[in-house]
Structure 1
Amino acid sequence: MTKQTKVVVAGASGKMGSEALRMVEKHDDLTLVGCVDLQHTGMQVKEVEGLPKFDAYFYDNIDTCFESVDADVLIDLTSPKVGYKHTKTAILNGVRPVVGTTGFSNEELKELTELAKEQKIGAVIAPNFAMGAVLMMQFSKWAAKHFPDVEIIEKHHDQKLDAPSGTAVKTAELIQEERTQKKQGHPDEEETIKGARGADFDGMRIHSMRLPGLVAHQEVVFGGPGENLTIKHDSFHRQSFMSGIKFAIDHVLHLDELVYGLEHLMMD
């Protein structure tokens, strides 16, 4: 009989969360034991229209959920403030978090990393769980050795709260590791409308677009004498993130520390 991993999904009523429920349903080695969401408190998942037919219940806070169910893994797909609390609570309760929430501060990431190390428990926080997006970030890091002039254009749906996206920030950080620092553009450049040139990250520019109809898209555009190199990734459906979440679940069970970025697991 296949050993099952007991999963809690936070943000289960959202578009990403409901997709995660469908991912759990498809895998025989996963079983849903609870959901955390402000909606549907006290209801079983199967009672909510459009969600899989699970017997697991909705809880309105993470503490009550962990007191009520025995869980191995928390999938958190909420917001930065809530996701930070959920991740910390999970680690303290011996539950391994797999977190797709972006927007954590460096101080929060440091605290969570140290806490996971103290508790000797695995955790995965990834700015993007789409495998193609992770490869896009790694290819961009490689290209930055040869093309130091670069701009990032990220496009997301208009309900996204943070800008720039966690993926764009992570991409810029990876590029920064390889790129010779420089201030791009003309030295006398002037924005006649503030913000026209986008956010300034170590001299490179990040542009955020928010529109209905988009899901998650990013272009990393490098410029050189007489040529451009564009590395692009598009997520057209939230299914694109589920293979990465399942991949992270399989790995987090064998970790004793926090890993930030799916690429570190993909390189093993």
Structure 2
Amino acid sequence: MTKVIVAGFTGSMGDKAVHLIADTAGFELTAVFAPNLASTNPADYGLAADVQVFQSLAEINTDAEIWIDFTLPSAVYANTKFAIEHDISPVIGTTGLTDSQVAELQKSAAEKKLGGIIAPNFGMSAVLLMKFAKEAAQYFPDVEIIEMHHDHKKDAPSGTALSTAKMINEVREPHQQGNPEETETLANVRGGDYHGIHIHSVRLPGYVAHEQVLFGGVGEALTIRQDSFDRGSFMSGVEVALTKVKKINELVVGLENVL
């Protein structure tokens, strides 16, 4: 039985992860973690009596083998570092890690030969969107990204949109896109700029997670879109990560790299 700790268990994604573990053969929830809890009694959260409840990293003392993280961008680096330092394989669904932080964490995991997965998105449709967008960018180098999320999302752009731009940038010929004499009469109206790829973030109630990648060519256009209507859709990817993470010996970025 593989033991798991869920960080951010009181959030919507963390709660679904807790239920996923309960429903998945071969895995056992041994601990949960979230800051500023009103109680550390597992019964208050509908958890089994033997599940440890922690509210600070300093308190955590667990025999968990896998750390699932659905917390906040401000906390994810410290959480992932803690997991690696304590030989717990991290499965990270929280966005907000910088490239330098990822590189540092990968180095630490490599030194321990510890497997881990950082997934900008656990939705299979989003993983496929990124894969298809990278392929399309070889033929359509002019591209923009629109990502749409609920109005409580903490970071912008989304980790999925930024990862999509990075994957496209790997195969896209660097070039000036759009009118070189363009003037913004409203600041930032053209969105963020990642190596010439514009990313636009929409935040509205009623949305969950959605992304469009728009490619333009002479006389034609291509749009790739994915929609996540329910957070439960992400759990299929989390389950894949749970089954794969102990079979690798490095910290991998992108669920597509363990499929």
TM-score range, shorter chain: over 0.9
Unaligned 5+ runs, structure 2 = none
Q: How much identity, in percent, do the aligned residues show?
A: 46
Q: TM-score by structure 1 length?
A: 0.93
- Are 2:242 and 1:213 aligned? no
Match of 2:55 in 1: 60
1:91-116 Cα deviation digits (max 9, x unpaired): 11111110001111111111100000
Match of 2:197 in 1: 204
State the Cα distance separating 1:28 from its structure 2 match.
Answer: 2.1
Match of 2:142 in 1: 149
Please state whether the residue corresponding to 2:100 is helix, strand or coil. Answer: helix
Matched ranges for 1:93-242 at <5 A? 93-242=86-235
Contact kept, 8 Å, 1:129 with 1:243, in 2: the verdict is yes
- Are 2:23 and 1:30 aligned? no
State the Cα distance separating 1:62 from its structure 2 match.
Answer: 2.7
1:50-83 Cα deviation digits (max 9, x unpaired): x565641321023422x1x210100011112311
Contact kept, 8 Å, 1:32 with 1:54, in 2: the verdict is no
* Matched AA of 1:22: H
* Matched AA of 2:257: H
* Matched AA of 1:7: V
1:202-224 Cα deviation digits (max 9, x unpaired): 11210000111111100001011
1:120-142 Cα deviation digits (max 9, x unpaired): 11111111111111110010000
State the Cα distance separating 1:22 from its structure 2 match.
Answer: 1.3
Q: TM-score by structure 2 length?
A: 0.96
Match of 1:16 in 2: 13
Unaligned 5+ runs, structure 1 = none
Moved over 3 A (4+): 51-55
Whole-Å separation in 1 of the counterparts to 2:254 and 2:126: 11
- Superposition RMSD in Å: 1.3
Please state whether the residue corresponding to 1:170 is helix, strand or coil. Answer: helix
Please state whether the residue corresponding to 1:208 is helix, strand or coil. Answer: strand
State the Cα distance separating 1:30 from its structure 2 match.
Answer: 1.2
Please state whether the residue corresponding to 2:247 is helix, strand or coil. Answer: coil
Whole-Å separation in 1 of the counterparts to 2:223 and 2:153: 24
Match of 1:247 in 2: 240
Q: Count the aligned residue pairs.
A: 258
* Matched AA of 2:149: H
Deviates further, 181-190 or 114-123 = 181-190
* Matched AA of 1:43: N
Whole-Å separation in 1 of the counterparts to 2:134 and 2:22: 36
Please state whether the residue corresponding to 1:147 is helix, strand or coil. Answer: coil
Contact kept, 8 Å, 2:147 with 2:212, in 1: the verdict is yes
* Matched AA of 1:242: M
* Matched AA of 2:237: G
- Are 2:35 and 1:42 aligned? no
